[in-house]
């Protein structure tokens, strides 16, 4: 049957562990509230405090807004499914969620590369930083990140939308995403899986290589520094970003760049849950913890 003939899908989620659903509901709700509060705090503070109108905080505000959208595209539906017996999502809702989850995830991969380039220019090219990372170029990089993410998602969406299903509409996941949806197909989906693997390599491996290259150059510049204060400043600027990169890319690689097996399906749900719920909630804490600029901004606003 054609996919569009299904009025709804059943998101099985964590139905295999019904005794865990209440616990997961409480934990995920807490992390979701942390995500909302922390990222809204960064966006509002960066907007109101003129001292934070810098490229670093412009990109950080973009990342915070992206994390808000990313979690909101899937977590409210997950909370509804965990709380009540109904675990359904409409066909239109599933397609919208599939599109935005992939689009926003891809955008974050590219945006993290842009942020690593900003840190590279600040540490390795400090005298040319204002020329390399000027106001117009910052906006161009941000727009390019969003456009590339939504374009990649449109490609997969156009392929996935026409995949015929095998007569059932039970998605063995807590959200609608491409790999879970392809498992419902009753035709050979090797072409779709190959396309997903290729684009995942482009938008995951290449950004990761560029980020590691940037931090390799930064590490080389740090080793030549003689000032202890300079070293502390560099670690303060780059350490938080590198930690967020690790929390995001490692789970993504485990999901999209390894062969899927039946035994790893349940494990995959918790990995997706980690970078969908935990990482966006920890990012504001990582970026603001021990950050003198943020503490100074809060004091200026309170004054």
pLDDT digits (tens, 9 = 90+) for 198-226: 888 888 889 999 999 998 888 888 777 76
Q: What percent of the chain stands above pLDDT 90?
A: 32
Of 143 and 159, the one with more pLDDT: 143
Q: What is the pLDDT of residues 5-49, one digit of tens each?
A: 457 788 888 877 878 888 999 999 999 999 999 999 999 999 988
Reported pTM: 0.88
Q: pLDDT at residue 78 above 80?
A: yes
What is the predicted pLDDT for the residue at 113? 94
- What is the overall mean pLDDT for the chain? 84
| pLDDT number for residue 7 | 72
Highest mean pLDDT among 53-62, 84-93, 213-222: 53-62
**What's the rounded Cα separation, in Å, for the pair 269 and 272?**
5
- Taking 50 as the threshold, does the pLDDT of residue 2 lie above it? no
Domain ranges of the chain: 3-302
Domain 3-302 fold: Rhopdopsin 7-helix transmembrane proteins (1.20.1070)
């Amino acid at each position: 049957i054609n996919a569009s003939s299904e009025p709804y899908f059943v998101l099985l989620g964590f139905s295999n562990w019904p005794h865990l659903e209440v616990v997961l509901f409480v934990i995920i709700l807490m992390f979701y509230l942390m995500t909302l509060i922390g990222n809204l705090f960064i966006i509002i503070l960066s907007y109101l405090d003129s001292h934070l109108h810098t490229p670093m905080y412009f990109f950080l505000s973009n990342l915070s807004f992206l994390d808000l959208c990313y979690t909101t595209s899937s977590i409210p539906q997950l909370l509804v499914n965990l709380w009540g017996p109904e675990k359904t999502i409409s066909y239109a809702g599933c397609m919208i969620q599939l599109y935005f989850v992939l689009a926003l995830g891809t955008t974050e991969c590219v945006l993290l590369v842009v942020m690593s380039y900003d840190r590279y220019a600040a540490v390795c090219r400090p005298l040319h930083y204002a020329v390399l990372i000027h106001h117009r170029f910052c906006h161009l990089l941000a727009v390019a990140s969003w456009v590339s993410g939504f374009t990649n998602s449109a490609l997969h969406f156009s392929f996935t939308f026409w995949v015929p299903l095998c007569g059932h509409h039970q998605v063995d996941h807590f959200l609608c995403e491409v790999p879970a949806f392809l498992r419902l197909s009753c035709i050979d989906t090797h072409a779709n899986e190959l396309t997903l693997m290729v684009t995942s390599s482009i938008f995951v491996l290449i950004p990761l290589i560029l980020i590691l290259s940037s931090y390799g150059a930064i590490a080389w510049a740090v080793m030549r520094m003689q000032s202890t204060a300079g070293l502390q400043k560099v670690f303060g600027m780059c350490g938080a970003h590198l930690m967020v990169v690790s929390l995001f890319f490692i789970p993504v690689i485990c999901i999209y760049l390894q062969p899927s097996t039946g035994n790893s399906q349940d494990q995959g749900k918790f990995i997706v849950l980690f970078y969908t719920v935990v990482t966006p909630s920890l990012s504001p804490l990582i970026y603001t913890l021990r950050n003198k600029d943020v503490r100074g901004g809060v004091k200026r606003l309170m004054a």
